[in-house]
């Protein structure tokens, strides 16, 4: 997932640089470049967190209900939830 996001960002950067080279780099191209870089950094950060499991919901082993990642107990059936270190 992180690789896919990085590939899209690199593609966007390459395209912007190519367009800048073809039509001349102006303020719009620089702003676009900054936006793509900012979005890319954010997307990669979110993708890394998702892969690390920090924003993945905790699934109850008893009722398979979704819970907050930091919830100590299942909000559906009250089963004690183990912290997932994956
Ligand atoms: Zn449950």
State the average pLDDT over residues 24-53. Answer: 80
Which region among 5-9, 22-26, 45-49, 79-83 has the lowest average model confidence (pLDDT)?
22-26
Q: What pLDDT score was predicted for residue 37?
A: 85
Please indicate, yes or no, whether residues 51 and 61 belong to a single structural domain of this protein. no
pLDDT at 86: 45
d(CA 70, ligand 1 centre) in Å: 14
The C-alpha atoms of residue 12 and residue 35 are separated, in whole angstroms, by 10
Residue 6's nearest CA partner among 29, 49, 37, 34 is 37
Mean pLDDT of 27-49: 83
- The reported pTM is 0.41
Residue 59, beta-bridge partner list: 66
Same domain, 42 and 15: yes
Both 37 and 72 in one domain: the answer is no
Q: Which residue has the higher pLDDT, 84 or 75?
A: 75
40 neighbors 5 (Cβ within 8 angstroms): yes
How many whole angstroms from 59 Cα to the centroid of ligand 1?
A: 8
In terms of domains, do 51 and 73 share one? no
Please check whether residues 48 and 6 belong to one and the same domain: yes
* 29 and 44 part of one domain: yes
Buried b (16+ CB within 10 A) or exposed e, 11-32: ebeeebeeebeeeeeeeebeeb
Q: Which domain holds residue 65?
A: 57-86
Average pLDDT over residues 56-79: 90
Q: How far is the CA of 21 from the centre of ligand 1 (A)?
A: 57
């Amino acid at each position: 997932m992180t690789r896919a996001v990085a590939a899209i960002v690199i593609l966007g950067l390459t395209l912007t640089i190519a367009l800048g080279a073809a039509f001349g780099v102006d303020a719009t191209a620089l702003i676009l470049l900054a936006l793509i870089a900012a979005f890319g950094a954010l997307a990669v950060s979110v993708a890394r967190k998702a892969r690390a499991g920090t924003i993945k919901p905790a699934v109850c082993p008893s009722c398979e209900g979704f819970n907050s990642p930091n919830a100590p107990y299942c909000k559906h059936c009250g089963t004690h939830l183990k912290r997932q270190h994956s």
